[in-house]
Amino acid sequence: MAAASRPLPLAARAVLAVAVVACLAGPWLFDANSLTVLTEFFVVLTLALMWNLLAGYADIISVGQQGFVGVGAYAFFGFTALAHLNVWLDPVAMGVVAITMLAAAACMSVWTNFDPAIGPSRLLAAFEAVVLGGLGSLWGTLAGGVIIGIAQNFGSQLDASWQILAQHLVFLAALVLRPQGLFAKG
């Protein structure tokens, strides 16, 4: 008999049954604060298990790639919760994001090369655009992206190696002059 098709031992079934009953009876057994702590614990446990799956089964052996994927998923869930959106819509929203990223990658592949490890460098430019525009401002993020793009273009006109330097200098200058971002809310 294959290892994957073996039934669970009786003790494991009993522990699983007690865990399911405890989860179902949670609202009556625990107060709101305890339920919040338990929910956070299980979310972190799930993230740890997913991180293990990324390392073991998805063949993502680079710690940087694991961190990029793990932090991205955790941040997506966190921002959904902070925005007071229904966290059960996360899979649908992640699907929309994945389709959008696929379209962007298809367009990007026409004029530049990329590889599986290029994510952090692209993420840095996106992070700088969001912070430059102001956290929580959609139009600010758009303006920040345009400003970062203009800075990169201007830097590359001076010297090809100055493209990213110009991006960082504009970001740092804006951060010093207006740390809350150009279009910050509140």
pTM of the entire structure? 0.47
36, amino acid identity: T
Q: Can you give the pLDDT at residue 1? A: 47
**19 contacts 38 by C-beta, under 8 angstroms:** no
Q: Can you give the pLDDT at residue 82? A: 79
Residues of the chain predicted below pLDDT 50: 1
**92 contacts 83 by C-beta, under 8 angstroms:** no
Q: Can you give the pLDDT at residue 66? A: 62
Q: How far is C-alpha 37 from the chain's CA centre?
A: 22
Each residue's pLDDT tens digit, 2-17: 555 677 788 878 888 8
Q: CA distances (Å), 138 to each of 28, 94, 116, 176, 184, in order?
A: 41, 18, 28, 21, 10
Q: CA 136, CA 146: separation in Å to the nearest integer?
A: 17
Q: CA distances (Å), 139 to each of 132, 135, 144, 167, in order?
A: 11, 10, 8, 19
